[in-house]
Amino acid sequence: MAEMSLPTIKRRVFELLDDDTYPFTLSEVTGPHEGDFGSRMKFFLTVERDDGDPVTLVYWTPLTFSDHPKCKLMNLAKALCGADVVADWDGVDFAAMLGKRAKAVVKRAPRNDGNGECNIISDILAQRPAKTAKPPESARPYTELFPDAASE
């Protein structure tokens, strides 16, 4: 009898988070999925937490890609790929977004079926690059502070 190979099973933790802004990594993209709301993409956002396992959030976007301020796909692409993303893309390169980081504004909301609460992502924000601090004036070399003194 031939040995059967089993598929790899990915572990995801779905947990209710408090209202807050969470940094995330885009871990997976699937779709397009057809449904009552038309064609949509499904994005899996992995939130790393200090107190345990990473938590996976699901973010659905329509396939509409425009410069409208409420366009979910454009806002996600800008947050992950930078502000230079333009609305006339011929196609969105989802593979280029994988592994990139941004921030999700998460809120609790009642479930549509009335059975408890769920998390919704109300906005996606770009993750600001780390700032580099300038050394205080007193720590800078004397010649940098007083360039004329170097030639004396």
* Residue ranges of domains in the chain, CATH in brackets: 20-125 (2.40.50)
CB 67 within 8 A of CB 85: no
| Residue 3 predicted with pLDDT over 70 | no
Mean pLDDT, the chain, whole residue set? 80
The angle at the Cα of 36, spanning 30 to 42, to the nearest 5 degrees, equals 15
The reported pLDDT for the residue numbered 107 is 94
For 19-33, the pLDDT digits (tens) are 999 999 999 999 889
Fill in the amino acid letter for 137: E
pLDDT at 36: 87
pLDDT tens digit sequence for 88-128: 566 667 888 899 999 999 999 998 888 888 899 999 998 87
What are the beta bridge partners of residue 123? 105
Give the pLDDT of residue 19.
93
**Do the Cβ atoms of 138 and 144 come closer than 8 Å?**
no
